[in-house]
Amino acid sequence: MDSENSGAQARIGLKTRLSWLLALVPPVFLLDLVTKRAVLHYMEPYGPTVGLIDNIARLRFIYNEGIVFGLNPSFFSGTVLAVFSVAVALLMTGYLLFARLDDIPTLAALCLVIGGACGNLVDRIAWGRVVDFIEIGIGDLTWPVFNVADISVTVGAVLLAWRLIFAAPAESGRSDGEKDS
């Protein structure tokens, strides 16, 4: 039995973790970067919206100086948010590389969060704010404007929460007292 698969349940080895990291993080990061650059090039900030799907989905270019969904607590500056983004990306990457992981959905979720955090980090470092441009809603009832990085972070976080709440206890074949081999 190889060292990557020892223990009660097969653990995901470093090579597989790095493969997933390289397979998901750069595409998420690049898609976020390319879409934001297109918005910066072709749209005016706070200008007219562009209706897409029956005007339920729209392109609307805004700068988000706050946190998720445009929340902007007064004690958060662009620098504080950039430092926080770096910390999240580093902690998630460290966890992905060194924690005991034995399921691909958790690994994929971590990669999505890391890719999205890196995407928004570039904006915070470059401009002290984030480019948001996707608006969804019907009439005046709209969700806060977001971007590709936000989608990635949200999907990753929801998947992590799902795994922690529902899947992890049911899949664990070990008691808390067992040690890794």
Digit-coded pLDDT (tens) for 35-87: 999 999 999 999 999 999 887 999 999 998 877 666 666 556 667 777 888 88
In a domain, 141, yes or no: yes
Q: Is 156 left (phi over 0), alpha (psi -120 to 50) or beta?
A: alpha
Nearest to 18 by CA among 4, 30, 2, 8: 4
In a domain, 3, yes or no: no
In a domain, 175, yes or no: no
CA angle 26, 91, 117 (to 5 degrees): 40
In a domain, 151, yes or no: yes
Q: Confirm whether 150 is a catalytic residue.
A: yes
CA–CA dist 28, 35 (Å, integer): 11
Chain centroid to Cα 35, Å, comes to 16
Q: Count the domains in the chain.
A: 1
Range of the domain at 132: 12-170
In a domain, 177, yes or no: no
pLDDT at site 96: 87
Identified catalytic residue from 32, 103, 132, 176? 132
Q: Confirm whether 180 is a catalytic residue.
A: no
pLDDT at site 10: 76
SS (H, E, C) the chain: CCHHHCCCCCCCCHHHHHHHHHHHHHHHHHHHHHHHHHHHHHCCCCCCCEECCCCCEEEEEEEECCCHHHCCCCCCCHHHHHHHHHHHHHHHHHHHHHCCCCCHHHHHHHHHHHHHHHHHHHHHHHHCCEEEEEEEEECCEECCCECHHHHHHHHHHHHHHHHHHHHHHHHCCCCCCCCCC
Nearest to 57 by CA among 129, 136, 138: 136
Model confidence pLDDT, tens digit, residues 153-177: 999 999 999 988 887 555 555 444 4
In a domain, 1, yes or no: no
* pTM score: 0.81
In a domain, 2, yes or no: no
In a domain, 64, yes or no: yes
